[in-house]
Amino acid sequence: MLLKNIVKLAVHTQMLPILESGEETLVGGQAVMEGVMMRAPHSYCVAVRKPNGEIITEEAPLHRMSEKYPIFKLPVFRGVGSLGQAMQLGVKALKFSANAAMTEEEAGKESKEIPAWIMTANMIFSFLFFVFLYKLVPLWITTQLEKIYPSIHGQILNGLIDGVIRITIFLGFLFLLSRYKDIRRIFEYHGAEHKVVFNFESRTPVTVENAQKFVTFHPRCGTSFLLVVMVLSMIIYMFLPFQSFALKMASRIVLIPVIAGLSFELIRFAAKNGGGLMAALTAPGLWLQRITTQPPDDSQTETAIKALEGAMELEKTQGGELVIA
Q: Which residues contact 319 (CB under 8 A, 6 or more apart)?
A: 42
Helix (H) or strand (E) holding 313: helix 298-315
Q: What is the pLDDT along the chain (325 residues), one digit of tens a residue?
A: 555 666 666 666 766 666 565 554 567 888 998 999 998 888 899 999 988 889 999 999 888 777 778 888 888 888 888 888 888 888 888 889 888 876 544 444 444 677 777 878 888 888 899 999 999 999 999 999 998 988 888 888 988 999 999 999 998 988 888 888 888 898 999 999 999 999 998 999 999 999 999 999 887 777 778 888 888 999 999 998 888 999 999 999 999 999 989 988 887 777 666 666 666 767 787 788 888 899 999 999 999 999 999 999 888 887 655 443 3
Pick left, alpha or beta for residue 48 (phi over 0 → left; psi -120 to 50 → alpha; otherwise beta): beta
Inter-residue long-range contacts of 88-93, CB under 8 Å, 24+ positions, other chains counted: 89/37, 89/39, 89/44, 89/62, 90/16, 90/19, 90/20, 90/30, 90/37, 91/13, 91/16, 91/119, 91/122, 91/123, 93/30, 93/32, 93/37, 93/44, 93/46
